[in-house]
Chains A and B, each alone.
Chain A
């Protein structure tokens, strides 16, 4: 069973090599990419089944024993993340295949698109199975370099401009992360997560806080936690629709995943939790207010993405098992729903020729399927009761209420308010883009548009509308179904999330998983 762990990394990497060799032959490239992602998904499911029984799988790479060699660790949290990432990546891949096939050109999805996409997958998987800080850094770098290429794909002027911001900000966070690894090594003499967790308790508190803050800042930039979220709404919307969907769903959540590891394994002590709670509050509110002021669907979605990162940080900041469990469930829910919404926005762009809600209308009549595919995840994100968004928020609020202090209750209030604001922003999109008759668009003065800021120099004119290929609609529909499945099977999924969180209650479990039955480890 342990042989499966390195395979989640190796399969997409080999797939990337193969697609690169296949070069300009698009059809075999697509098949290889889809097959490798399907294999990753299957391995992920097998891993979760294995791990849910035993607690964790630990692989010592090259048979070097734990503190000296590299370890790969898959616990329930990693396995869950591997599965959900594979689902999302596969759906987005099929969406982009559909888009490429329909446009009939073999150049626009340039021949490096599939290899880069698979390398992105590799990086994501490395980050999830990494058992030491440096491997986590390498995973981040792999996925970031791939994302640099994807976000500037095609090299148009707007993409280069947005890409430069993204690249420089990401580089800065990587350098900070590397510097913190250096500091951790200087203080503790190890980068193995379990050994770091074991030794960090002996450090003086002030040194602990310095290391803690450095790691949190590095991951906070990646996770887009306010005030480090400024780069996201600017850079994501310019990328091609499927790329934005994959980035929005996954990349920020990997930052959140790293924050969970830091908060639960390395520094389970509660010193910084109140500060994190305040940051969660600000992230939620500022993101939601940004979403309300935007006119472009992709920008609205980017701001709601920032605002919902706040919910996950809230769950982590509570520092309780219930909080972590709710955060894990919320991450899974949000990865699926946010990706679906961005895919639906891609469909809207095709059907209406624009994603600006000031310019489009009448989509309910002209594209009823797209309307349904947008409406369900929109309600889901807003947290309307039957859906998984409601379950996740309920779990978070319950965990916060157990905490019971004033700050926790403030966050519950803010969380409820922010979900209303999210709903407001998305329902406005619904009213204008879908419900408003197409004839009313020109010269329409509705109160819904009064607070809206069009991006001033935006070139979002109505472009030619294109027929939507069935493959794009199908993959979006599949993601909607996955989102609904999260609701229907919320019980078992939430139970797994709870068991994952129990594993993360303090660092002791993690240390025992990596060093079974060891009293004192290494030099």
Chain B
């Protein structure tokens, strides 16, 4: 199976650029990255078809191995249509996100923010400490230490 080196290089560049863009925060770039990777993968399927040949319509005097393989092209067509539909949806999603937040960035995950700011100490525990309704003795000291009998988890 001989394949064009240029196609392979183009595919690699498309996928590499796509991965780079996909890792960006801006959603518009994410979409562009997705489109690039999608095209890169379509090229990959085309490469897997082997070398180029004449159109796969049976003619007299053409050896079977001279035809190009039609199946991957059918697969690529389907994949292109799917990519098209999904990118239309993504654009709508970005527009909606922009309308809501006036930015097309991926929003921070609430848990991640809390973890980064070290505020995972829960309001429930703070509130509970200065109320007396507990089964356990509460020291007046600002006790970070655990009470006796408490289970350490």
Contact = CB atoms under 8 A, between A and B. Distances in A.
Interface of A: 134, 138, 141, 145, 148-149, 152, 155, 157, 160-161, 163-165, 167-168, 171-172, 175, 178-179, 181-183, 185-186, 191, 234, 358, 443-445, 447, 449-458
A138 B131 contact: no
A305 B71 CA distance: 39
A164 B75 contact: no
B134 A185 contact: no
B27 A449 contact: no
B41 A182 contact: yes
Interface of B: 22, 27, 30, 34, 37-38, 41, 44-45, 47-49, 71-72, 75, 78-79, 82, 85-86, 89-90, 93, 96-97, 100-101, 106-107, 109-111, 113-114, 119-120, 122-125, 127-128, 131, 133-135, 150-151, 153
Contacts, number: 115
Contacts of B124: 358, 449, 452, 454
B41 A456 contact: no
Given A160-B100, A186-B47, A167 B93 contact: yes
Nearest to B3: A186
Contacts of B41: 175, 178-179, 182
- Of the listed residues A145, A168, A452, the one surrounded by the most CB atoms of chain B closer than 10 A to its CB is A168
Nearest to B128: A445
A181 B119 contact: no
- Residue of A145, A179, A183, A191 ringed by the most chain B CB atoms within 10 A: A179
Contact of A141 (B27, B82, B96, B110): B82
A160 B114 contact: no
B45 A185 contact: yes
Contacts of A165: 106, 109
Contact of B48 (A186, A358, A457): A186
Nearest to A135: B78
A443 B133 contact: yes
B101 A157 contact: yes
Contacts of A455: 110-111
Contacts of B30: 168
Contacts of B100: 155, 157, 160
Given A164-B106, A175-B41, A445 B93 contact: no
12 contacts: A145-B86, A157-B101, A160-B97, A172-B22, A175-B37, A175-B38, A182-B48, A185-B71, A185-B72, A443-B131, A454-B123, A454-B124
Given A167-B90, A456-B119, A181 B75 contact: yes
Given A138-B78, A160-B93, A456-B113, A445 B131 contact: yes
A392 to B, nearest CB: 29
Given A157-B100, A157-B101, A160-B93, A145 B128 contact: no
B88 to A, nearest CB: 10
Contacts of B79: 178
Contacts of B150: 447, 450
B75 A185 contact: yes
Nearest to A171: B34
B122 A452 contact: yes
Q: Which 6 A-B pairs have the closest CB atoms?
A: A186-B48, A445-B128, A456-B114, A457-B110, A182-B45, A161-B107
B86 A171 contact: yes
Contact of A456 (B27, B110, B127): B110
A456 B111 CA distance: 6
Contacts of A163: 93
A458 B150 CA distance: 28
